[in-house]
Chain A
Amino acid sequence: MHPAPSVIAFTTLSGLGFGLMVFLGLGEPAVTGWTAFWFFLISHALAVGGLLASTFHLGHPERALKAFSQWQTSWLSREAWAAVAALLTMGLYAAAAVFLGTRIAALGLIGAALSLATVFTTSMIYAQLKTVPRWNQVLTPLHFLTASLAGGALLAGQIMPAAVLLLLAGMVQLGHWRVGDARFSEAGHTLASATGLGQPGRVRAFEPPHTGPNYLLREMGFAVGRKHARKLRILAALFGYALPIALILAPGAGHLLGGLAVLSHLAGMLASRWLFFAEAEHVMGLYYGLRGQHP
């Protein structure tokens, strides 16, 4: 799948932002006044910034409001509702904390739940797609949720929860790669099943329909750069999970090491999200003889 920068930025940044909102909503840290202002500014900027980035890949962003209508069937529509509900609830909670100096605990809990629900709906947009076997697995929502919570804990300065969640998220990440690598063949999609031509013998894509590229190949036949997949996985695991744990657990770690841990985690997550798209193979590629180019 084409790793569109807008979607990578959206899922990574909004994941972090909503993760931070979960912890702010739970009152960890229980901040009010100016401290609260900065915390909520960061969480809302990340979440809203991510959402705005996601509208850049729309063909008609001016019709985005219509996306609220089909929540009964569409995870993308549900995501829109969850995101707005979470942002509004946490906005109220933040206003009370910043301007009135009081934390409305119940509102925070609801906001935390809605934030988590938003991340879940985002993950389900990918996990629901049978056409991309690598995404179509239980670990996809788990990966999004654990990564978001780990990043949120890191930003919220919750050392021990962050360390535990980073470890957990790292393990889910490894599992997602491992299970994902086998998903396509397990699902049983072959050129023979795609064409129904398997009966007389071995099928091979002989000629594509056109000599040039097309939307389908650009969007779903992405294969460039997969040769670096292994190295990028190591970098993602290292910077996204291992290094932040080491940095925050280092004796006497202060704001500087904490900040470095956040930056390292963000860099690792961007690499991880790039791989999430670049490594994902769409079954449509079978018709173009693309299957099997993956190392």
Chain B
Amino acid sequence: MTQLPTQTNAKLGLVIDLDTCVGCHACVIACKGWNTETYGAPLSDQDPYGAEPSGTFLNRVHSFEITPETGAAQLVHFPKSCLHCEDAPCVTVCPTGASYKRVEDGIVLVNEADCIGCGLCAWACPYGAREMDAAAGVMKKCTLCIDRIYNENLPPEDREPACVRTCPAGARHFGDLADPDSEVSLLVAARGGVDLMPEQGTKPVNKYLPPRPKDRLEETDILAPFLEPVAETPQGFLGWLDRALDRL
């Protein structure tokens, strides 16, 4: 049903630390790797080795540059995937009921057997989190690795989304954002986690931790006194050679 639940028992989601992310795109690859071979239709590629490769991804890393009033510009790597919004506009626009938000954990999913591939949900999402698979003709989106997080066949440490499990910088955190005492909620409170495009009124579950202010090193150069400038005019033999060649 495309009616949103009035309340969900949990709000499972991601907290992404923009201060820590190094922009390695490992989460993108881990996501594509896991999700292309498990839940639903594979994430296809078109013309993968040709001139114009293109493919379906559930997670993409943008890079933004912040230029402060004074000081050096700062590069921020910005992974973006479905934010599993509380007021998910992608769900209510779906004509078939293929898109739904789970009551038990708040995860937004697509039932691919019901999806007609009209693409309206992708239009309704402000974040560009849904992508139509060109080969399967159905809408693909982040499932929060629903086939990992509850999977008892996996060792406990692997029961988290593939992107979180693989992140070498520890920039991605997974947990229940409805529980104020969960690690992710404490992290959001401590670091001032923000919503993306709050003016859209989607109430995203995923939070982003803004980059911390950069340290400023004082301008000191301890080697400077030892580095006398090199003599501009050559002396001795080289000096003679220089003058002789000038005269030629």
Contacts and interface: CB of A to CB of B under 8 A. Distances in A.
A, B from the same assembly:
yes
Interface of A: 1, 57-61, 63-64, 66-70, 72-77, 80, 125, 128-132, 187-189, 191, 193-197, 199-210, 212-216, 219-220, 282-284, 287-288
Nearest 8 A/B pairs, CB to CB: A59-B117, A59-B137, A209-B60, A201-B68, A284-B128, A196-B194, A207-B63, A67-B95
Contacts, number: 198
Contact of B66 (A58, A202, A216, A220): A202
Contacts of B114: 63, 66
Given A73-B94, A76-B118, 11 more contacts: A66-B95, A66-B98, A69-B95, A70-B1, A74-B92, A75-B93, A130-B201, A131-B89, A201-B73, A202-B68, A206-B64
B126 to A, nearest CB: 5
Given A73-B2, A206-B75, A130 B115 contact: no
B93 A128 contact: yes
A205 B92 contact: no
Given A1-B123, A74-B92, A74-B94, A209 B200 contact: no
A205 B64 contact: yes
A56 B1 CA distance: 25
B228 interface: no
Given A130-B126, A284-B125, A284-B127, A212 B53 contact: yes
Contacts of A199: 210
Contacts of B210: 196-197, 199
Interface of B: 1-3, 18, 25, 28, 52-57, 60-69, 73-76, 78, 80, 89, 91-98, 114-120, 122-128, 131-132, 134, 136-139, 194-201, 208, 210-211, 213
Contacts of A206: 63-65, 75
Contacts of B75: 206
Given A212-B54, A216-B131, A197 B199 contact: no
A279 to B, nearest CB: 15
Nearest to B79: A209
Given A60-B115, A196-B194, A212-B53, A74 B138 contact: no
Contacts of B18: 197
Contacts of A202: 66-68
Given A70-B95, A203-B65, A283-B126, A61 B1 contact: no
